[in-house]
Amino acid sequence: MPDTTQTKPTEKRGKILFQLLEGSKRFFIASVLLGWLSSLLELVSPQLISFIVDSVLGEKVPSLPAPLAGLLARLGGTEALRQKLYIPAVAVVVLALFACAARWAFRMMNAHGQESMLRHTRRKLYLHILRLPLSWHHQNRTGDIIQRCTNDVETIRSFLSDQLITLIRTALQIILALYFMIGISPRLSIVTAVFIPITILFSLFFHKRIQKSFRVVDEKEGVLSAVAQENLTGVRVVRAFGRESFERERFEKTNEEYTGMWDHLMKLLSAFWASGDVLSGLQRMLILFIGASFCIAGQMTVGQFIAFISYSAMLEWPVRQLGRVISGMSRAGVSIDRIAYILGSEEEAEADIPQGPDMTGDIVFSHVTFGYGEEGDVLKDVSFTAKAGKVTGILGSTGSGKSTLMYLLCRLYDLKDGQGQITVGGHDLAKMDRAYVRSHIGIVQQEPFLFNRTIGENISIGAEGADGSLIREVSGIAQLEETIGNMTQGYDTLVGERGVSLSGGQKQRAAIAQTLILQRPILLMDDSLSAVDTRTDARIRKELAAMPNKPTRILISHRVTTLMDADEIVVLDKGRVVEKGTHQALYAQGGMYRKICDLQSPEGIGGGEA
Ligand SMILES: Nc1ncnc2c1ncn2[C@@H]1O[C@H](COP(=O)(O)OP(=O)(O)OP(=O)(O)O)[C@@H](O)[C@H]1O
Ligand SMILES: [Mg+2]
């Protein structure tokens, strides 16, 4: 697994975030502005209440800012207001309604922003991943890729829609509230100003530990579900080897550890909430005590006191949240780096013209040398020709590079300069468009993969709209007709997850039919007859040979009988071509091929009568 957690400079992270925000920026900007508006409206309300309390109920009428004083005069002054109490009441309600509307619009914009960002990011990642070369997919674990596309995207979403916006909004809330509070009583504001950093630091301290604990719980949960999943999917092996009690103990131990971690986390959370409450209580008590004494001493009106308490209460929650928000933000940086790794991986370059030459000619491998990575070359100076419309057999022990040859032919991997050349009908494969090459080659993979659909649907999966007669025809060639005929629902029989309800040989034959239906000019069969008996194997090959517009066929096998009818057999050993020729010639030669023949059939396969 490549190292992808290297910290990137903030500027680079910002750039990536900007890319992910394509199409959703305006929603987030609107939500920030609306958030500010709703905070502002909420913060004006205590001012109004303070004025009402003092001017309507109190003895002392506070001095008002010019516009409000003008408004009051037009309404008939304090005395008139005392007669029409509904006016201030309605004003408070109207203000609350505006604040409510602003909050609603804030949430709407925020939700739109999140959805749009998620949709865009998922799409961007998925399309990019689909275009990444196979070598990249082999280097990176599927689970990890999926996690980056789900968990990391989710972390970024919560960073943008929750943490960042809360931070921006709370900062303004604190500044404005403090401004109003200082306007009421600078001395009492000192209490709040002292408690704000203490509360933030306190919550930051706890949340760092809580987050760490959450991560451990997450990891333990991952282990627990991996143990459960392994046991459920491998239930056959567990039963067959009588490992139930061992596996049960393993599960119980992991379960126990997981529960223990939750316990620890809950204790931490309880301690945080309880001690946070004490801190808030202390602050409230101090403000009440000092504020009340100011009121008694006539340094503050009752209305101002109420407004001050309202501001202090308004700030309590946002400030307590800040620790969680700030400590969670560091995770977003890591997630951005992990997504940047995917987006920064280079896609397969495509040729300018997505067309190419005729693919029915000879396939020529000349001096092909290839390796997957640091471990050295898997293929060494391989040269051979697969004649157009003929059968070329490739025989070789396990790991000798047979499948690698096929991957190169499909351009799942690319040959670099100096690694030799592959041509089809004299045209260099490297210069053709990859999609074009792949759309002319039918490959039956070594490990067939069937989807949890009906057998008919599985066969026609690559050929959308294929009619029933074509499906039956290819099934006939693949010797599947009888098998399917014996199934209760015929072609409509479901095959289960990964084709679990089919035997190994049935799966292989379904995979052959799946490829044949594509009617491609080149047909590669990578050990695709290994799980069928020799008679069925021979019948399938015979049917293939009888096909009209015979494709150029390359058959890979460990079994000599599968290959002995081929027009040419290439024998691979540790990545090198050691022998080439027809069965008779190679048998007569008495080399490696002959040795394999003798090993597989001690009575002798024979050199002449094949
Ligand atoms: N994706 C990969 N990354 C690194 N090495 C690989 C990869 N795929 C195959 N190899 C290595 O390349 C060598 C040839 O593998 P290949 O699959 O071509 O053999 P094969 O002849 O098809 O074997 P088998 O008969 O078992 O299918 C092996 O040593 C294998 O370990
Ligand atoms: Mg192979």
Ligand 1 within 6 A of CB of 404: yes
* DSSP classification of residue 2: -
Q: Going by C-beta distance under 8 Å and a sequence separation of 6 or more, which residues neighbour residue 160?
A: 17, 21, 28, 113, 114, 117
Closest-lying ligand 1 atom to the alpha carbon of residue 446: 27
Closest-lying ligand 1 atom to the alpha carbon of residue 396: 21
- Looking at residue 352, what is its pLDDT? 61
pLDDT tens figures, 228-240: 888 888 888 888 8
Q: Going by C-beta distance under 8 Å and a sequence separation of 6 or more, which residues neighbour residue 479?
A: 509, 532, 536, 539, 540, 543
From the CA of 373, which ligand is nearest? 1
- Looking at residue 609, what is its pLDDT? 41
Q: Is the pLDDT of residue 60 over 80?
A: no
The tokens of 89 are what?
A: 């009441």
Question: Is the CB of residue 396 less than 8 Å from the CB of residue 116?
Answer: no
Q: Is the pLDDT of residue 51 over 60?
A: yes
- Looking at residue 133, what is its pLDDT? 85
Ligand 1 within 6 A of CB of 403: yes
- How close is the Cα of 361 to the center of ligand 1, in Å? 27
From the CA of 399, which ligand is nearest? 1
Mean pLDDT of 94-119: 94
Ligand 1 within 6 A of CB of 323: no
- Looking at residue 378, what is its pLDDT? 93
- How close is the Cα of 367 to the center of ligand 1, in Å? 19
26 SS3 class: helix
pLDDT tens figures, 550-594: 899 999 998 888 898 899 999 999 999 999 999 999 999 888 999
- Looking at residue 319, what is its pLDDT? 92
Closest-lying ligand 1 atom to the alpha carbon of residue 402: 21
pLDDT tens figures, 293-351: 999 998 888 889 999 999 999 999 899 888 888 888 878 888 898 899 999 998 877 66
Burial 281-292 (b: 16+ CB within 10 A, else e): eebbebbeebbe
- How close is the Cα of 402 to the center of ligand 2, in Å? 5
- Rounded CA-CA distance 416/430 in Å is 9
Closest-lying ligand 1 atom to the alpha carbon of residue 397: 25
- How close is the Cα of 4 to the center of ligand 1, in Å? 26
Question: Is the CB of residue 320 less than 8 Å from the CB of residue 198?
Answer: no
Which residue carries 């049935």 as its tokens? 506
Of the given ranges (43-47, 64-68, 301-305, 363-367), which has the lowest mean pLDDT? 64-68
Q: Could you write out the three-class secondary structure of 195-230?
A: HHHHHHHHHHHHHHHHHHHHHHHHHHHHHHHHHHHH
- Rounded CA-CA distance 503/501 in Å is 7
From the CA of 525, which ligand is nearest? 2
500: nearest Cα among 445, 533, 453: 453
Q: Going by C-beta distance under 8 Å and a sequence separation of 6 or more, which residues neighbour residue 270?
A: none
Nearest CA to ligand 1 atom 27: 398
pTM of the model: 0.68
pLDDT tens figures, 115-173: 999 999 999 999 999 889 888 888 888 878 888 888 889 999 999 998 899 999 999 99
Mean pLDDT of 478-498: 86
Ligand 1 within 6 A of CB of 378: yes
**Bigger pLDDT: 45 or 499?**
45
Q: Is the pLDDT of residue 385 over 90?
A: yes
- How close is the Cα of 225 to the center of ligand 2, in Å? 32
The tokens of 455 are what?
A: 């057998």
From the CA of 396, which ligand is nearest? 1
pLDDT tens figures, 424-470: 999 998 888 888 898 899 999 878 888 888 889 889 888 877 888 88
Name residue 441's amino acid.
I
Ligand 1 within 6 A of CB of 398: yes
- Looking at residue 406, what is its pLDDT? 93
- Looking at residue 529, what is its pLDDT? 84
Q: Tell me the percentage of the chain whose pLDDT exceeds 90.
A: 40
From the CA of 444, which ligand is nearest? 2
Ligand 1 within 6 A of CB of 400: yes
Q: Is the pLDDT of residue 64 over 70?
A: no
Ligand 1 within 6 A of CB of 394: no
- Looking at residue 353, what is its pLDDT? 61
- Looking at residue 610, what is its pLDDT? 37
For residue 552, count CB atoms less than 10 angstroms from its CB and return exposed for 0-12, middle for 13-18, buried for 19 or more. buried
* Assigned fold of 10-344: ABC transporter transmembrane region fold (1.20.1560)
Closest-lying ligand 1 atom to the alpha carbon of residue 134: 1
pLDDT tens figures, 251-265: 999 999 999 999 999
- Rounded CA-CA distance 85/106 in Å is 32
- Rounded CA-CA distance 302/426 in Å is 96
- Looking at residue 84, what is its pLDDT? 77
Question: Is the CB of residue 345 less than 8 Å from the CB of residue 139?
Answer: no
Q: Is the pLDDT of residue 356 over 80?
A: no
Closest-lying ligand 1 atom to the alpha carbon of residue 558: 25
The tokens of 224 are what?
A: 């627990």
- Count of alpha carbons within 13 Å of 236, Cβ hemisphere only? 2
**Would you place residue 95 in the very low, low, confident or very high pLDDT band (cuts 50, 70, 90)?**
confident
**Would you place residue 608 in the very low, low, confident or very high pLDDT band (cuts 50, 70, 90)?**
very low
Q: Tell how many helices (H) and how many strands (E) occur in the chain.
A: 23, 10
**Bigger pLDDT: 208 or 67?**
208
Testing ligand 1's pocket by substitution, the residue of 139, 368, 378, 526 carrying the most ligand atoms inside 8 A of its CB is 378
Mean pLDDT of 339-367: 83
Nearest CA to ligand 1 atom 28: 399
344: nearest Cα among 15, 1, 22: 15
